């Protein structure tokens, strides 16, 4: 139920800073693709170009094309439309602080005018189950606020919130980097289960995490994509020396 992403000659700027240079790659549908690389190499910027969040910064600029399921998201669609089809989970969990757990999960639908209470109940339950949070919160859905959960629970709540709008692509920008190891492994299990239903792109600092969850991996360095191949190949027999240096820990 996910779609593939075709990126062609993508260039991105923050003001005069040329953050992404000539990115070309194809992200396969219904797979998890990991993006690795040292800090500041542009992985987060890349991912934010896919759901057009990059341009929320007034000094940001993008050229090139990104096609999701064949649709050119820059030329043929508006940002709001794209963001309903591409979900995002951020590095730091950011549930809406004034809303209950239920309202948080339903936010993407309610704020877009969806009002069928019965259907919303079902969607909230299914999303929370898909993000492995249901059992922990099912009794407090409307009583507890989203911000009163633990860090790992908040992140799963954010995942449920993203899933509730049934996106085709799920972008995850270092989703577990702010969490403890137990929560991290829960989230990795989640990604493993979800990737059959969505196309997942996960940015990660953690190479072992990439190896655990992703079929394909892309290595970013200084705004360029150096190598993009199956995870197995990247980690055992990379073609590019720079990739090998990063994998073996010579830098980054």
Partner 1 sequence: MIAQVPEIRISQAQLLSEPDPSGEQPPAEAASQQVSAIRAYLLARGNSALADRGFHWLMVLCALSIFGIVLLILTELVRSSSQVWNQFHFSFFFKAYFDSYTGLPNYWDPVNGHFSALPFVYGTVVSSLLSLVLAVPLAIGVAIFLTEMCPKALRGPLAFLTELLAAIPSIIFGLWAVFVLVPLMREYVNPLLVRSLGWTTFFTDENPTGLGFVTAAVILAIMILPIISSLTREVMTAVPHSQREAVLALGATRWEMIRIGVLRNARIGIVGAVILGLGRALGETMAVTMVIGNSPEIHRSLLSNGYSMASVIANEFTEAVSDLHRSALMEIGLALFIVTIIVNVLAQLLVWAVTRGAPARVN
Partner 2 sequence: MKAGENNLRSKIRALTDNGVTALAILATVLVIAPLVAIFGYLIFKGATSLNLAFFTQIPKPVGVAGGGMANAILGSAILLAVASVLGVPIGIGGGIYLAEFGRGTKLANAVRFTADVLNGVPSIVMGLAAYSLIVLPQGHFSALSGGVALGIMMIPTVCRTTEEMLMMVPHAVREAALALGVPNWRSVLSITVRTASPGIITGCMLAFARVAGETAPLIFTALGNAFWSSSLNQPIAALPLQIWIYAQSPYDDWHRLAWAGALVLIVLIVVAVSLVRYVTSRGVLKGAS
Q: Which stretch binds partner 1 (CB under 8 A): 11-19, 40-48, 65-73, 220-228?
A: 65-73
Residue of 39, 58, 118, 182 interacting with partner 2 (CB under 8 A): 58
Q: Answer for the pair 51, 86: CB distance below 8 angstroms, yes or no.
A: yes
Q: Answer for the pair 51, 226: CB distance below 8 angstroms, yes or no.
A: no
3 makes contact, choosing from partner 1, partner 2, none, with CB < 5 to 8 Å by partner type, with: partner 1
Q: Does 174 bind partner 1 (CB under 8 A)?
A: no
Of 11-50, binders to partner 2 (CB under 8 A) are: none
Q: Does 94 bind partner 1 (CB under 8 A)?
A: no
Residue among 20, 181, 38, 172 nearest 92 (CA): 172
- Smallest distance, Å, CB 59 to partner 2? 10
181 makes contact, choosing from partner 2, partner 1, none, with CB < 5 to 8 Å by partner type, with: none
Q: Does 3 bind partner 1 (CB under 8 A)?
A: yes
Give the helix/strand (H/E) hosting 12: strand 5-14
Q: Which is nearer to partner 1, 116 or 208 (CB)?
A: 116
The residues near 119 (Cβ < 8 Å, ≥ 6 apart) are none
In a 3-state reduction of DSSP, which class is residue 207?
A: helix
Residue of 94, 177, 197, 206 interacting with partner 2 (CB under 8 A): 94
As given in the structure block, the two tokens for residue 85 are: 């089809």
88 makes contact, choosing from partner 2, partner 1, none, with CB < 5 to 8 Å by partner type, with: partner 2
77 makes contact, choosing from partner 2, partner 1, none, with CB < 5 to 8 Å by partner type, with: partner 1
Q: Where are the beta strands (DSSP E) in 50-125?
A: 60-68, 71-72, 86-89
Which strand ranges, in their side-by-side order, compose the sheet holding 224-230? 86-89, 169-173, 199-203, 32-36, 216-221, 224-230
- Smallest distance, Å, CB 72 to partner 2? 18
Phi, psi of 188, rounded to the nearest 5 degrees:
-65, -40
Q: Interface with partner 1 by CB under 8 A: which residues?
A: 1-3, 29-30, 69-71, 77-81, 84-85, 109, 112-114, 119, 122-123, 126, 165-166, 168, 193, 196
């Amino acid at each position: 139920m996910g779609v593939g992403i075709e990126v062609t000659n993508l260039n991105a700027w923050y003001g005069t800073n040329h953050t992404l240079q000539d990115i070309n790659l194809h992200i396969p549908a219904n797979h998890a693709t990991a993006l690795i690389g040292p800090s500041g190499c542009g992985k987060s910027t890349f991912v934010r170009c896919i759901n057009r969040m990059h341009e929320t910064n007034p000094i940001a600029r993008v050229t090139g094309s990104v096609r999701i399921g064949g649709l050119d998201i820059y030329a043929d669609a508006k940002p709001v439309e794209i963001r309903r089809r591409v979900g995002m989970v951020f590095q730091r969990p950011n549930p809406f602080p004034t809303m209950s757990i239920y309202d948080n999960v339903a936010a993407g639908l309610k704020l877009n005018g969806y009002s069928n209470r019965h259907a919303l109940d079902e969607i909230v339950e299914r999303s929370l189950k898909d993000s492995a949070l249901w059992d922990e919160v099912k009794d407090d859905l409307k009583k507890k606020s989203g911000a009163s959960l633990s860090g790992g629970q908040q992140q799963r709540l954010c995942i449920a919130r993203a899933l509730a709008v049934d996106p085709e692509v799920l972008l995850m920008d270092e989703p577990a980097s702010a969490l403890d190891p137990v929560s991290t492994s829960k989230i990795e299990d989640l990604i493993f289960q979800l990737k059959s239903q969505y196309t997942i792109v996960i940015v990660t600092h953690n190479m072992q995490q990439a190896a655990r969850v992703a079929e394909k991996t892309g290595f970013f360095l200084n705004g360029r994509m150096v190598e993009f191949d199956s995870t197995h190949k990247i980690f055992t027999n990379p073609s590019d020396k720079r990739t090998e240096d990063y994998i073996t820990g010579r830098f980054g």
